[in-house]
């Protein structure tokens, strides 16, 4: 016990402020990596690799196995080159988030579009979503923000039309040529329809108790993971409205919550009625909490 205390005092005497900074930096790196891998299949894979490495190292250190120890010491360095290949999608997603971190996230500041045009576009999407929900017509509407969606718009049918509820209702009418795929809205225009979106590889939908989330919801999450776009989904099964942003899904939206959410994402200044973005966000959070508590009580 005395020897252990002497070693601890020795370490404390040699401890410098640079050592503290070193520990903080390493801890921050591990924290950021774990946060970026949260809710992804890569986290499960990383946990499995970590457990296997620990077991192999313990097994090799407890028993005198020269050949096995040599094999382990030769194979483990190869994992340094395998990690970028195994976790390529997660690394790309993390770099894209870092690249978007300094962007101003409001549409009206980045695009040459007036507030009136922005309001007309948002109101058109809100009205169309409500009517699609009432009719149980499935829909996926992707609205561009700072990051361009031109590469995804090229996969669909070009339109370059004004955003109106009637147009969106016609596009997503069942069994029409354009109802499959997503509509991409850039500024105040429907840029393209029937566009192909990347599917989400995260486990967000797998943990959902609902069985009504299909390819549209996976596509909405997928485009929100690789860009800063806002994706509005209308379920064909239940008619419920959801919004995907930054790899997260806001579900069971009514018209009021949908309006508050979209205006909070896109509106940089105050709207008529004196509601700014911060008040809208606060009201949205309050509505979400009250609605979720009511559903849980039921």
Q: Where are the domains of the chain?
A: 2-100, 107-297
Name the band, by pLDDT with cuts 50, 70 and 90, for residue 298. Answer: very low
User: Which is more confidently placed, 54 or 294?
Assistant: 54
Q: How far apart are CA 190 and CA 113, in angstroms?
A: 14
Residue with tokens 């402020």: 17
Query: pLDDT tens digits, residue range 135-165?
Result: 999 999 999 988 788 889 999 999 999 999 9
pLDDT at 193 exceeding the cut of 60: yes
**Residue among 249, 153, 178 at smallest CA distance from 207:** 249
Question: Residue 283: exposed, middle, or buried by beta-carbon count in 10 A (0-12, 13-18, 19+)?
Answer: middle
**Residue among 235, 190, 240 at smallest CA distance from 216:** 235
- Is the CB of residue 189 less than 8 Å from the CB of residue 142? no
pLDDT at 168 exceeding the cut of 60: yes
Torsion angle in degrees (nearest 10) through CA of 28, 29, 31, 34: 170
Q: How far apart are CA 274 and CA 271, in angstroms?
A: 6
pLDDT of residue 290: 44
Q: How far apart are CA 134 and CA 126, in angstroms?
A: 13
> Quick check: pTM over 0.75?
no
Average pLDDT, the chain: 76
pLDDT of residue 137: 93
pLDDT at 59 exceeding the cut of 90: no
Name the region of 129 (left: φ>0; alpha: ψ -120 to 50; beta: rest).
alpha
**Residue among 228, 254, 229 at smallest CA distance from 239:** 254
Q: How far apart are CA 5 and CA 26, in angstroms?
A: 26
pLDDT of residue 117: 85
Q: How far apart are CA 50 and CA 230, in angstroms?
A: 35
Homologous superfamily of domain range 107-297:
DNA integrity scanning protein, DisA, N-terminal domain (3.40.1700.10)
Query: pLDDT tens digits, residue range 83-128?
Result: 667 666 666 666 666 665 544 334 444 445 677 888 889 999 999 9
Q: How far apart are CA 184 and CA 162, in angstroms?
A: 12
Tokens (6 digits) for 145: 């923000």
Residue with tokens 């290949």: 85
Relative to beta strand 139-143, strand 182-186 is parallel
Residues 187-200: what's their mean pLDDT?
90
Which contacts (CB < 8 Å, 24+ apart) does range 40-45 have?
40/90, 40/201, 40/202, 40/203, 41/201, 41/202, 41/203, 42/86, 42/87, 42/89, 42/90, 44/203, 45/86, 45/87
């Amino acid at each position: 016990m005395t020897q252990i205390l002497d070693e601890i005092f020795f370490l404390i005497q040699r401890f410098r402020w640079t050592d503290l900074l070193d520990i903080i930096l390493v801890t921050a790196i591990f924290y950021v990596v774990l946060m970026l891998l949260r809710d992804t299949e890569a986290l499960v894979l990383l946990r499995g690799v970590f457990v296997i490495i620990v077991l192999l190292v313990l097994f090799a250190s407890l028993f005198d196995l020269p050949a096995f120890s040599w094999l382990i010491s030769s194979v483990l360095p190869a994992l340094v080159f395998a990690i970028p290949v195994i976790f390529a999608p997660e690394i790309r997603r993390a770099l894209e988030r870092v690249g978007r971190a300094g962007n101003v996230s409001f549409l009206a500041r980045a695009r040459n579009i007036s507030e009136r045009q922005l309001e007309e576009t948002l109101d058109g999407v809100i009205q169309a979503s409500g009517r699609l929900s009432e009719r149980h017509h499935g829909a996926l509407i992707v609205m561009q923000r700072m990051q361009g969606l031109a590469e995804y718009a090229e996969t669909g049918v070009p339109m370059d039309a004004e955003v109106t509820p009637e147009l969106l209702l016609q596009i997503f009418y069942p069994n029409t040529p354009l109802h499959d795929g997503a509509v991409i809205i850039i500024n105040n225009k429907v840029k393209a329809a029937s566009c192909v979106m990347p599917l989400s590889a995260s486990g967000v939908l797998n943990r959902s108790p609902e069985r009504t989330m299909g390819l549209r919801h996976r596509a909405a999450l997928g485009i929100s993971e690789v860009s800063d776009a806002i994706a509005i989904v209308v379920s064909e099964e239940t008619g419920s409205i959801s919004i995907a942003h930054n790899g997260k899904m806001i579900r069971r939206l009514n018209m009021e919550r949908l309006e508050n959410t979209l205006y909070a994402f896109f509106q940089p200044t105050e709207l008529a009625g004196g509601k700014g973005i911060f008040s809208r966000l606060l009201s949205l959070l309050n509505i979400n909490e009250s609605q979720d508590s009511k559903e849980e009580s039921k």
